[in-house]
A and B are shown apart, each in its own frame.
Chain A
């Protein structure tokens, strides 16, 4: 079983839709949580760090549920430019430790 699991999708939504992605992690010692966005053949770009209290950045909201060991990403008012692969990642919060990625969820927003 992979340490970090995501529904691969694809999620096909119209512009303006709200879409939510979930990600589960198996190691309860995981301390830091992130959402990255990756466009085809490009580098992962940090979208948001995920904090226990939840955090919001414009149309994006991230939540962490430690008890159930999952994190979520909510995208409101989807734009065509949101089409990408969204990767969740966790690590153990020590300097130099690896990010463990999920396989990513593909989002396609259409007009």
Chain B
């Protein structure tokens, strides 16, 4: 079965640089979520989109923005990167309540 696709899988950036993470949901899933998971932490919700409109917002820094496109893929844009942004970034998609996670992007900020 098709799963959530995320790219890139690994990303290394310097402080103050920008990064763009991409997420391709499972076909026919209309909702996309972004989560951040730091070392030893549980996933923390950042933002979600339902039918291309922002539907919920969590602890997403103002330096981050995201959108969902007409083909339902989503991008998370991160600017002025800080050391503390180093984490696993997961995208999840859902058709209703159950959320299915992609393999994540591991971001390292040096």
Point out residues on A near B: beta carbons under 8 Å: 32, 34, 36, 41-46, 49, 87, 91, 93-104
Q: Cβ of B101 and Cβ of A49 under 8 Å apart?
A: no
For residue B8, CB closer than 8 A to chain A, the reply is: no
Q: Cβ of A104 and Cβ of B58 under 8 Å apart?
A: no
Contacts known (A43-B104, A103-B42); A96 close to B55, Cβ less than 8 A:
yes
Contacts known (A101-B43, A102-B42); A46 close to B56, Cβ less than 8 A:
no
Q: Cβ of B50 and Cβ of A44 under 8 Å apart?
A: no
Mark out the residues of chain B between 69 and 91 whose CB falls within 8 Å of any chain A CB in the assembled complex: 88, 90
A-B contact count (CB 8 A): 62
Classify the interface of chain B: helix, strand, loop or mixed: strand
Within 8 Å CB of B88, what residues of A? 41
- CA A31 to CA B93, docked complex, whole Å: 18
Within 8 Å CB of B106, what residues of A? 41
Within 8 Å CB of B102, what residues of A? 43
Smallest Cβ-Cβ distance to A6: which chain B residue: B42
Smallest Cβ-Cβ distance to B58: which chain A residue: A98
Smallest Cβ-Cβ distance to A2: which chain B residue: B42
Q: Cβ of B48 and Cβ of A96 under 8 Å apart?
A: yes
Within 8 Å CB of B30, what residues of A? 95
